[in-house]
Amino acid sequence: MEAKYLRDAGMAFAFAADPVFYKRCNSGHINDTYFVSCGEGFPRYVLNRVNTSIFSSPEELMANLKGVCSHVAAKVKAAGGNPDREVRKIIPTKDGGDYFIDPDGGYWRAFLEVDNVVAHDYADSPELFYKSAVAFGRFFKQLADYPAETLYTTIPDFHNTVKRMNDFKAAVEADVCGRVTEMKEEIDFALSKAHLCSFILDGLEEGKFKLCVTHNDTKLNNVLMDACTGEGVCIIDLDTVMPGSVLYDFGDAIRFGASSALEDETDLDKVYLDLYMFETFVKGFVGELGDSLNNDEILAFPMGAYLMTLEVAIRFLGDYLSGDVYYHILYPEQNRDRARNQLKLLRDMDDKMEQMNEIVRKYINK
Ligand code: GN1
Ligand code: MG
């Protein structure tokens, strides 16, 4: 169903012409996104209604985005690239604001759509996945000198896996929907990994891993790739850009893109970690980042992938137990199915940890 006020929002922005057609994008789990067409010969746009129950301070969110986008745009320009294409371009409202606020208090914002690009939900070739690794690596490098202290925390403790585990335990205790019995096996398995949750936080605290500006949601479909050449063009979904560890970005990219199946696959026999894809991503990422990574970070890549998978698994499972209050779902048991999918991937990573370790050892800086 089309969101209420979509058309009012469409008319509020300084587009090149009035919108004539809206198409819903179904891939985000949090915000509502629409592609906007303004007719032949005009650029296309993206309209996005921010989920303010999750991003509670939309003004701060937009301040982060403006800062990050203009920083990356300057880098793109300096490298002779095209900033209208290689970084998210924010479109102001007709009166120069960041947002259109609808009568129900909904916050809408708009971006220029990048032409001739594709976002993939699934890495159907190693080349494609390699190119995404290069694109995420480049973005990470572009933000290496961003003044991190100016970034607002859009979601506190976003990748604090210890806190995520505690929240999960609380959801199990509360059992508000009476779903704990059904999910006992999955819950016990997830809880048996609780002792691992502080690995990245400990490394950051000890100074083994660097605190950097990270994207924090490096799903393959957050890289727009050129439809002709397949090269990564533009990194999108910048709402969670915050200080963190490179292990978050590496790990989440593996969780999503080196899985043999989609996050929503319900046939668990199809879900496993593809080691060839894992190595492909390591190669692209390390190749792009070089010595901005230290060896402790490279050696911890397998744990980064493991913990990001565990984290998302307990978030999906916790949301199922709590009555599906966080993620968008298309059918009632979707969060349960997503959690089972991620836990299957995690079990497979348990079996493949030594092989992952062996792979990353080949890529450390000598
Ligand atoms: C959410 O909205 P989307 O699909 O880009 C979530 C990520 C999860 C991801 C799991 C703000 O991302 O953290 O990894 O779902 N984003 C937020 O697919 O919670
Ligand atoms: Mg996201």
Q: Break the chain into its structural domains and give their ranges.
A: 6-56+88-113, 126-361
The residue whose CB lies within 8 Å of the most ligand 1 atoms, and thus the one to mutate among 53, 217, 327, is 217
d(CA 118, CA 36): 16
Summarize pLDDT for 301-319 with one digit per residue, the tens: 999 999 999 999 999 999 9
| Mean pLDDT, residues 84-104 taken together | 97
- Ligand 2 geometric centre to CA of 361 (Å): 31
Q: Give residue 338's pLDDT band: very low, low, confident or very high (50, 70, 90).
A: very high
pLDDT above 80: residue 230: yes
For the full predicted model, state whether its pTM sits above 0.85. yes
Q: Give residue 2's pLDDT band: very low, low, confident or very high (50, 70, 90).
A: confident
Output the pLDDT for position 11.
98
Output the pLDDT for position 102.
97
- Residue type for 341, please? N
Q: Give residue 66's pLDDT band: very low, low, confident or very high (50, 70, 90).
A: very high
pLDDT above 80: residue 60: yes
- Ligand 2 geometric centre to CA of 297 (Å): 24
Report the atom number in ligand 1 closest to the C-alpha of 216: 13
Average pLDDT of the residues of the chain: 97
Summarize pLDDT for 133-161 with one digit per residue, the tens: 999 999 999 999 999 999 999 999 999 99
Q: Ligand 1 pocket by C-beta < 6 Å: which residues? A: 28-30, 54, 217, 219, 237, 240, 263, 312
The answer to whether the CB of 357 falls within 8 A of the CB of 302 is yes
d(CA 55, CA 61): 7
- Ligand 1 geometric centre to CA of 217 (Å): 6
d(CA 6, CA 23): 11
- Ligand 1 geometric centre to CA of 362 (Å): 31
Output the pLDDT for position 365.
87
Compute CA distances 262 → 50, 112, 255, 272, whole Å: 25, 28, 10, 10
The residue whose CB lies within 8 Å of the most ligand 1 atoms, and thus the one to mutate among 219, 222, 307, 317, is 219
List the CATH code of the domain at 6-56+88-113.
3.30.200
Instruction: Tell me the two tokens of residue 251.
Output: 């790990």
The single residue listed with the structure tokens 């809880």 is 191
| Mean pLDDT, residues 171-185 taken together | 98
The CATH T-level fold of domain 126-361 is Aminoglycoside 3'-phosphotransferase; Chain: A, domain 2 (3.90.1200)
Summarize pLDDT for 255-273 with one digit per residue, the tens: 999 999 999 999 999 999 9
CA dihedral 310, 311, 313, 317 (to 10 degrees): 130
Helix (H) or strand (E) holding 166: helix 161-174
Instruction: Tell me the two tokens of residue 19.
Output: 């919108």
d(CA 232, CA 235): 8
What percent of the chain clears pLDDT 70, i.e. is strictly above it?
Answer: 100
Q: Are strands 117-118 and 107-112 parallel, antiparallel or unpaired?
A: unpaired
